[in-house]
Copies of this chain bind each other. A is one copy, B any other.
Amino acid sequence: MNKSETRRRSSGRITLSDVAKAAGVSPITASRALRGERGVAQELVQRVKDAAQQLGYVPDPAARTLASQRSVQVPVLVPLLSNALFVDVLESVHRTLFPEGYQALIGVTHYDPQEEEQLLRTYLAHRPAGLLVTGFDRTEAARQLIAASGVPCVHLMEMTPAPGVFCVGFSQQDAGHSMTAHLLARGYQNVAFVAAQLDPRTMQRAEGYRRCLREAGRYDPKLELLSPQPSSMRLGGELLEELLRTRPGVDAVFFCNDDLAQGGLLAAQRLGLSVPGQVAIAGFNDLAGSDQMLPPLTTVRTPRSAVGEASARMLLALMRGEEPAHNSVDLGFELTVREST
């Protein structure tokens, strides 16, 4: 046993060289054949693929990443995992990316731009293949980190007029406007807006609510009840009670999210109020259970899974170096009128 053999740190793994040897070609040719790079004789491609198959060859992602300076990682930065909305997005991103050989990575920002910036630093150091971030509200440093990295990035859940920026979502403001218009059309006189968390998308819905009421000449800031606390069913109930106590005359409530609305609906029931007779209740997002409430909840159905899939497809194109058909994709929303309004 000579010195070089003693020194070998063999992992026993089947490598590209093994495949190349078996196919009777050079490792480079094997590499090209396996990656489907054009410019390799059809016959060789087949021979290499057969050899790889027979040997059970699996490429080493670390070696590939190191040599090519391109990984298969795609960090997905969302505010929370406890909000089903973002789980749906993450799930469909993962489902779209995984079969293409990319790996979606969890990133939770807790609605905190500083935390997001820190995550971005960490993830960008890993040379990700692409990046998915929620909305446009971030630190200037974060924006520059993304731009400087040159990593393709798609923004989720919001629309923006900025050119050269990629996004997939829908207009949160229009959705807020649409629900408010529905409530006015139903004849409600004092339509309140109740929100929690107060993240940018929630505030865009608030803006849609305001715009609609202003157009109708009915805007009154006292009809808004905004809480920075995290959204939950319990909080929805508490806010409804506070609203009815402090704003007598309210006959319809637009909650910025379905968990609040569901809690509000149950609280109304607990208080012996008929819905929508004494107070109409509407939500947002059409989360699980909203259609099962008593009465079933009027809400806005938002395209979470579609956003996940479309953004992943857009990113796939960008990662291949292609120009996507559109910079921004508006997937819309659907006013879903049920019995609570």
Contacts and interface: CB of A to CB of B under 8 A. Distances in A.
A165 interface: no
Interface in A78-105: 81-82, 84, 87-88, 90-91, 94-95, 103-105
A58 B123 CA distance: 11
A292 B237 contact: yes
Nearest to A91: B81
A262 B289 contact: yes
Interface residues of A, number: 44
Interface in A281-298: 288-289, 291-294
Interface stretch (A62-70, A186-194, A220-228, A247-255): A62-70
Nearest to A70: B62
A50 interface: no
A106 B108 contact: no
Given A71-B62, A292-B233, A294-B270, A105 B108 contact: no
B87 A82 contact: yes
A11 B69 contact: yes
Given A84-B84, A105-B103, A105-B105, A233 B66 contact: no
Interface in A257-301: 259, 262-263, 266, 269-270, 288-289, 291-294
Contacts of A69: 11
Contacts of A104: 106
7 contacts: A63-B66, A66-B66, A81-B90, A84-B84, A104-B106, A259-B289, A263-B292
